[in-house]
């Protein structure tokens, strides 16, 4: 994924960069959904860590993290789409 943008320039490079951001956004969104489902299962099992703290509280950070990462990839893709290439790179 990192090799293609280094070998290309101009519009093909920008297209690959946008594609990478979109694919990464989709993959991390799928991971966020999967980890959310896992946390939901943990909650339904009613298991505890220490002193009566539900175990799903500890796992809840995982889908939150994946969601934030996915949003970051989305915003990067939007930024790349909205900002045109400088004249020297558009060749």
The answer as to whether 39 is a domain residue is yes
The answer as to whether 12 is a domain residue is no
**What's the pLDDT score for residue 39?**
93
The answer as to whether 37 is a domain residue is yes
The answer as to whether 10 is a domain residue is no
**What's the pLDDT score for residue 88?**
66
The answer as to whether 41 is a domain residue is yes
Range of the domain at 39: 21-60+67-83
The answer as to whether 33 is a domain residue is yes
**What's the pLDDT score for residue 5?**
66
Phi–psi pair at 27, nearest 5 degrees:
-65, -45
Mean pLDDT by 10 residues, the chain (91 residues): 70 88 97 96 87 87 97 96 72 49
The answer as to whether 91 is a domain residue is no
Q: How many domains does the chain have?
A: 1
Taking the whole predicted model, whether its pTM rises above 0.75 is answered as yes
The answer as to whether 89 is a domain residue is no
């Amino acid at each position: 994924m990192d090799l293609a943008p280094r070998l290309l320039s101009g519009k093909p490079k920008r297209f690959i960069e946008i594609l990478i951001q979109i694919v990464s956004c989709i993959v991390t969104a799928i991971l966020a959904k999967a980890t959310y489902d896992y946390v939901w299962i943990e909650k339904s099992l009613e298991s505890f860590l220490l002193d009566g703290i539900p175990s799903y509280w500890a796992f809840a950070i995982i889908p939150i993290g994946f969601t934030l990462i996915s949003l970051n990839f989305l915003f990067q893709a939007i930024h790349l789409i909205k900002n045109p290439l400088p004249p020297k790179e558009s060749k």
